[in-house]
């Protein structure tokens, strides 16, 4: 089992570092800000960071980058922890940037004492003006050359709450003409009279990302600090601060975030969809969030496989949703129980099957595995529900289902021939009449009949009603946030279709118990797709979510 798998560029760096003896073990971290739910893009980062320390020697910390109290919340902390655990990863330590506020404050004082930071009284607008542009150098602030004593005094008073929000900032004293705008005296502390989700009212000044992230990395002795491409310009500052503060030299590496087509992965935009009620919540099954994918019926391994397969690189990308679908189908094909459900019903009457007669038929749970994962009993009778699309009044040549004179097999039951059909006043077909062949019973077929089609069905008398929710892509554009106008203009109005009266086979009435017995229980509604029981279900009212359809070459053929 020694399959030679090529390493991605970050794994190569780690392998080289280890080989050269730079570290005894590596330490990575996953650093979410608790201001939203994790999405599929984060899954990639999680798999990378935890995967690195699984593959090589070391461990991974979970660290919440909670330096902006106005957007952060403990509820997000809990959701994030749940999602990472669900994906199957274990963090070594649960840390918070806010745990380091005292240390960080000390670092700031140290910088001031070295003459490398100053308190600025400029407002945001004036500061932006003096900052220059990517092509023009900036100009020094008139407050840039205050004495160490004055800076220390002012910074202390900032901390003590003597000033209102926005009146003062602490800036690193670097170079206002630097080509990298991040290095033009970046703000490292700002005043925010806001309650923090962990430190409460203890502070009214908070460090900026650049003065918290790298420092927290250093405190935790992170060896490889992996982030996304947009932080490349920040690396200069990251390294400058390590040097001036004389702290542990963590190294930052950047990779390209993963983008999925027909969706958005920006916490800001996802929050908008939630707040403005375009979706039912962060865990709406249409959301690309981990919790949304979970509720939709995706498995942790399908997501991990997806992340593994799409890899890590530095180029911009837009991954096709069909790849995610492939991995969930691959997984569920091997594990899901086969059941029958009729989503858009029409009645079939088997005219030569005695009225009042019933029989129990046997169906395997999963033909893909040895022993078929057991079996269940399926009641059969004279009247059945079948899928409306499985009957055509004037079928084309290659139609293998039912139409006048056509024969088809009812899955796990008998072969039937369509003899007649009934129409209502408007010309809609309301009932299909068939005859069945008693000697064609599944498993003991002696009829000698050969049919190309097999259909699913549910006995009218024994059918249970359920709600079935069908999901399609959330957006109609491949990259909604790059289109003209607002990304919400491209929401797919058909992303959720609710079928209130689908008919499910009798055994599915036990779905709640089956889920309690096995939290991974999923179903394949034969010929219709993979489904899972939704949390909205009650004993009287079952709700199923469609995770993904089956591949359908017939549908492709007719379209």
In angstroms, rounded to a whole number, what is the distance separating the alpha carbons of residues 314 and 229? 7
CA distances to 264, 485, 486, 488 from 482, rounded to whole Å, are 10, 9, 9, 11
Q: Residue 533 CB, nearest distance to RNA (Å)?
A: 19
- 418: which residues sit within 8 A by CB, 6+ positions away? 391, 402, 403, 404, 405, 406, 407, 408, 432, 433, 434
User: Is 276 among the residues known to form the active site?
Assistant: no
Query: H/E element holding 384?
Result: strand 383-387
C-beta closer to RNA: residue 93 or 322: 322
Helix (H, G, I), strand (E, B) or coil at 127: helix
> 116 near 172, Cβ under 8 Å?
yes
Query: How many Cα atoms occupy the beta-carbon half-sphere of 44 within 13 Å?
Result: 23
Q: Residue 526 CB, nearest distance to RNA (Å)?
A: 4
In angstroms, rounded to a whole number, what is the distance separating the alpha carbons of residues 199 and 67? 10
C-beta closer to RNA: residue 252 or 284: 252
> 369 near 403, Cβ under 8 Å?
no
User: Is 267 among the residues known to form the active site?
Assistant: yes
How is residue 344 written in tokens? Answer: 């858009």
C-beta closer to RNA: residue 400 or 496: 400
Q: Residue 418 CB, nearest distance to RNA (Å)?
A: 13
Q: Residue 323 CB, nearest distance to RNA (Å)?
A: 4
User: Is 257 among the residues known to form the active site?
Assistant: yes
| Options 11, 33, 308, 467, the catalytic residue | 33
C-beta closer to RNA: residue 2 or 553: 553
Q: Residue 45 CB, nearest distance to RNA (Å)?
A: 12
In angstroms, rounded to a whole number, what is the distance separating the alpha carbons of residues 524 and 545? 11
Q: Residue 262 CB, nearest distance to RNA (Å)?
A: 12
Partners of residue 58 on adjacent β-strands: 26
C-beta closer to RNA: residue 326 or 496: 326
Q: Residue 318 CB, nearest distance to RNA (Å)?
A: 4
C-beta closer to RNA: residue 399 or 531: 399
Looking up tokens 């939704």, which residue turns up?
A: 534
In angstroms, rounded to a whole number, what is the distance separating the alpha carbons of residues 302 and 48? 15
C-beta closer to RNA: residue 140 or 537: 140
Which value, in Å, is the radius of gyration of the alpha carbons in the chain? Answer: 31
| Options 29, 171, 267, 295, the catalytic residue | 267
C-beta closer to RNA: residue 53 or 524: 524
In angstroms, rounded to a whole number, what is the distance separating the alpha carbons of residues 139 and 127? 9
> 418 near 404, Cβ under 8 Å?
yes
In 256-373, which ranges are E strands? 337-339, 341-342, 345-350, 358-364
Q: Residue 258 CB, nearest distance to RNA (Å)?
A: 8
| Options 257, 411, 461, 488, the catalytic residue | 257
Beta-carbon count within 10 A of 75 CB: 12
Q: Any idea which residues carry the catalytic annotation?
A: 33, 257, 267
């Amino acid at each position: 089992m020694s399959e030679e798998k090529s390493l991605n560029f970050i794994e190569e760096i780690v392998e080289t570092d280890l080989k050269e003896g730079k570290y005894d073990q590596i330490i990575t971290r996953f650093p979410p800000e608790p201001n939203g739910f994790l999405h599929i893009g984060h899954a990639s980062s999680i798999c990378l960071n935890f995967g690195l320390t699984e593959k090589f020697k070391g461990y991974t910390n979970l660290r919440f980058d909670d330096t902006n109290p106005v957007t952060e919340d403990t509820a997000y902390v809990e959701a994030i922890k749940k999602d990472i655990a669900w994906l199957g990863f274990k963090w070594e330590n649960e840390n918070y940037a806010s745990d380091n506020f005292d240390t960080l404050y000390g670092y700031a004082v140290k910088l001031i004492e070295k003459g490398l930071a100053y308190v600025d009284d400029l407002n945001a607008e004036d500061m932006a003006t003096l900052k220059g542009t990517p092509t023009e150098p900036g100009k020094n602030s008139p407050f840039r050359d205050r004495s160490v004593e004055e800076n220390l005094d002012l910074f202390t008073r900032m901390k003590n709450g003597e000033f209102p929000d926005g009146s003062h900032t602490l800036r690193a004293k670097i170079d206002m003409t630097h080509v990298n705008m991040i290095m033009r005296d970046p703000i490292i502390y700002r005043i925010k009279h806001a309650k923090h989700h962990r430190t409460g009212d203890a502070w009214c000044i908070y460090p900026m990302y650049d003065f918290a992230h790298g420092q927290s990395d250093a405190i935790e002795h992170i060896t490889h600090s992996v982030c996304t491409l947009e932080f490349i310009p920040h690396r200069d500052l990251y390294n400058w601060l390590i040097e001036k503060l004389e702290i542990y030299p963590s190294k930052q590496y950047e990779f390209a975030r993963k983008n999925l087509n027909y969706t958005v992965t920006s916490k800001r935009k996802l929050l908008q969809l939630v707040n403005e009620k375009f979706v039912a919540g962060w865990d709406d099954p249409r959301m690309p969030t981990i919790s949304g994918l979970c509720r939709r019926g995706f498995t942790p391994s399908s997501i991990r496989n997806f992340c593994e397969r799409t890899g890590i690189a530095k180029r911009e990308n837009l991954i096709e949703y069909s790849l995610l679908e492939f991995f969930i189908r691959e997984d569920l094909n091997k594990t899901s129980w086969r059941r029958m459900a009729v989503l858009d019903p029409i009645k079939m009457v088997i005219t030569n099957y005695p009225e009042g007669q019933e029989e129990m038929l046997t169906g395997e749970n999963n033909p893909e595995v040895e022993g078929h994962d057991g079996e269940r009993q399926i009641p059969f009778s004279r009247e059945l529900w079948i899928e409306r699309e499985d009957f055509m009044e004037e079928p084309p040549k290659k139609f293998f289902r039912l139409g006048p004179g056509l024969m088809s097999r009812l899955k796990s039951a008998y072969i039937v021939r369509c003899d007649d059909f009934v129409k209502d006043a408007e010309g809609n077909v309301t009932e299909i009449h068939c005859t069945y062949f008693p000697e064609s019973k599944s498993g003991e077929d002696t009829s000698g009949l050969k049919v190309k089609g097999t259909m699913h069905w549910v006995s009218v008398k024994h059918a249970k009603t359920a709600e079935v929710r069908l999901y399609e892509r959330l957006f109609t554009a491949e990259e909604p946030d790059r289109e003209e106008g607002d990304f919400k203009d491209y929401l797919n109005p058909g992303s959720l279709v609710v079928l209130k009266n689908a008919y499910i086979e009798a055994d599915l009435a036990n779905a709640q118990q089956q889920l309690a017995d096995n939290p991974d229980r999923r179903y394949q509604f034969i010929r219709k797709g993979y489904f899972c029981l939704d949390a909205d279900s009650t004993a009287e009212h079952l709700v199923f979510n469609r995770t993904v359809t089956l591949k359908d070459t017939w549908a492709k053929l007719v379209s």
